Chain A
């Protein structure tokens, strides 16, 4: 009996070493292959969630629906007016960029995706979405919600992908801070979350001009690094504090996207 235990122990050690020593590409492929076993269950959970939501919608009082509808109509009308103004700005911007010889801006091409799973380990910030290679996704595409940036695609299989969220150490984002006049105040890099427990707070490092950074200022992506286009909203400055005996300053940023309630996201296609 004891002998069997030790044989099993040796087998597990050898197997673990083999799996851990797999080349990164092979390990990723192997991982995606194993995770695909969960797809039917994840699909089932997603469908049942939708059915439950539909059932919930059926019992919403008509009065509330009419109220929501009226509010949406009003918002839609406001947005239409704003869009007219933005169209004018766009035309003007294109004209000026052409006059200065700047490169033409490419409009964002976004594709919807649904979050089907979260990382079961507490020490990573990742989600899995129901879009993959067959939908045209590839690694490093930005992922966002209507509120702001969420993260980037990190691994892609045929039918699903893994998205690494803002605050995870493997998702650094180059950011800039804008003041009330939308002028750049400072810049930095978001490297990690501010707290293990609070997913909506991240730290902005490498501030060059910390005195100009004030709570409430908006943080957006800068196009340094090449992964994210400039101007995607990230969040708002909460506070700035000195670290390492005042040699450097770190700002805490409250993310605009609700990271703990991610359900539907948008992938920015190339």
Chain B
């Protein structure tokens, strides 16, 4: 199931980048394109191992940069740092709680574009930034954060459909049954 989990996460990352590049409904109405990868990274770091997180950061970052005018490789580090930090504190996080998922999603979705821009500026690029970016950042943070519980639900459904059914053990034992009344 671990390999399958990694494959599902990578396939979803690929589709997320494709959706971001080809569907512009959000951009048309809100002037913003939402980044779906930081939220996915939160899910991956809470549910999978280091290998999955590393693969998602490297492949997701390269896929995103290949369709963007970003310098190739700038999106890898922000994604990986999200996964790395979440995995470090994974044992302290109540991953099944919606509140925890949302807080992590908001933080990751807000952090990723800022760090990407910092790396871009330090590489000498001149991305378009102005006061309007505050609005873009807000929308990216909110929508990206809201995506995390949806990822949990989506993957939960997929695993319930494809995985083995859980055996529910009963505490009833025939040999220890207390029979009431006289025989």
**A, B in one complex:** yes
- Judging by beta carbons under 8 Å apart, are A120 and B54 in contact? no
Chain A residues positioned under 8 Å from B17 (CB to CB):
38, 120
- Interface: B117 (CB within 8 A): yes
From B62-70, B102-110, B162-170, the one touching the partner chain is B62-70
Check: A206 CB closer than 8 A to any chain B CB. no
Contact present for A196 and B69 (CB under 8 Å): no
A20 with B28, Cβ < 8 A, contacts A117-B67, A119-B21, A122-B133 known: no
- Known A-B contacts A16-B73, A27-B71, A31-B66; A196 and B21 likewise in contact (beta carbons under 8 Å): no
Complex-state Cα separation, A22 to B53, whole angstroms = 24
**Nearest CB of chain A from residue B6's CB, rounded to whole Å:** 14
Measured CB to CB, the nearest residue on chain A to B54 is A8
> Does B50 lie within 8 Å of A4, measured CB to CB?
yes
In the complex, the chain B residue whose C-beta lies closest to that of A125 is B128
B18 and A38: CB pair below 8 A? yes
Say whether B76 contacts A196, CB under 8 Å: no
Q: Could you tell me if A260 and B128 are in contact, using CB atoms closer than 8 angstroms?
A: no
- The A-B contact count (CB < 8 A) is 152
CB-nearest residue of chain A relative to B129?
A123
In the complex, are the beta carbons of B128 and A124 less than 8 A apart?
A: yes
A47 within 8 A of B: no
Task: Give A32 to B131 CA distance when docked, in angstroms.
Answer: 32
Q: Could you tell me how many residues of chain B have their Cβ less than 8 Å away from some Cβ of chain A? A: 55
Provide the residues of chain A in CB contact with B57, threshold 8 Å.
12
Task: Report which residue of A8, A38, A168 has the largest number of chain B beta carbons within 10 angstroms of its beta carbon.
Answer: A8
- Interface flag for B174 (CB, 8 Å): no
How many Å from the CB of A129 to the closest CB on chain B?
Answer: 13
Which residues of chain A are within 8 angstroms of B50 by Cβ–Cβ distance?
A: 4-5, 8
A169-188 Cβ-contact flags toward B at 8 Å (1 or 0): 11000000000000000000
The number of residues on chain A lying at the interface, defined by a beta carbon within 8 Å of a beta carbon of chain B, is 51
CB pair B136–A197 under 8 Å, yes or no, is yes
Shortest Cβ distance from residue A228 to the other chain B in the assembled complex, whole angstroms: 20
Q: Which of B112-150 contact A (CB under 8 A)?
A: 113, 116-117, 120, 123, 126-133, 135-136, 140
Determine the chain B residues whose CB is within 8 A of the CB of A30 once the complex forms.
Answer: 72
B128–A118 CB distance below 8 A: no
The docked-state distance in angstroms from the alpha carbon of A146 to that of B27 is 23
In residues 155-209 of chain A, which contact B (Cβ within 8 Å)?
162, 164, 167-170, 192-193, 195-199
Tell whether B171 is near chain A: CB-to-CB under 8 Å. no
For B72, the chain A residues whose CB sits under 8 A away are: 19-20, 22, 27, 30-31
- Tell me the smallest distance from the CB of A27 to a CB of chain B, in Å: 5
| Most chain A beta carbons < 10 A, residue from B57, B62, B64 | B62
Q: CA–CA, A197 to B137, complex, Å?
A: 12
From B35, B69, B88, B126, give the contact of A126 (CB < 8 A): B69
With contact pairs A122-B33, A195-B132, A198-B31 given, residues A42 and B18 touching in the complex (Cβ less than 8 Å) = yes
Instruction: Provide the residues of chain B in CB contact with A19, threshold 8 Å.
Output: 62, 72-73, 76
- Check if A34 is an interface residue, CB within 8 A of chain B: yes
State the Cβ distance, A188 to closest chain B Cβ, in Å.
19
Q: Which residues of A contact B101 (CB under 8 A)?
A: none
A sample of 27 cross-chain residue pairs with beta-carbon separation below 8 angstroms, ordered by A number, consists of A9-B84, A12-B54, A12-B80, A16-B76, A19-B72, A20-B73, A20-B74, A20-B123, A27-B71, A34-B66, A38-B17, A38-B66, A38-B67, A45-B22, A116-B22, A118-B27, A119-B33, A119-B67, A120-B67, A121-B127, A123-B129, A164-B69, A167-B128, A170-B69, A192-B128, A195-B132, A196-B130
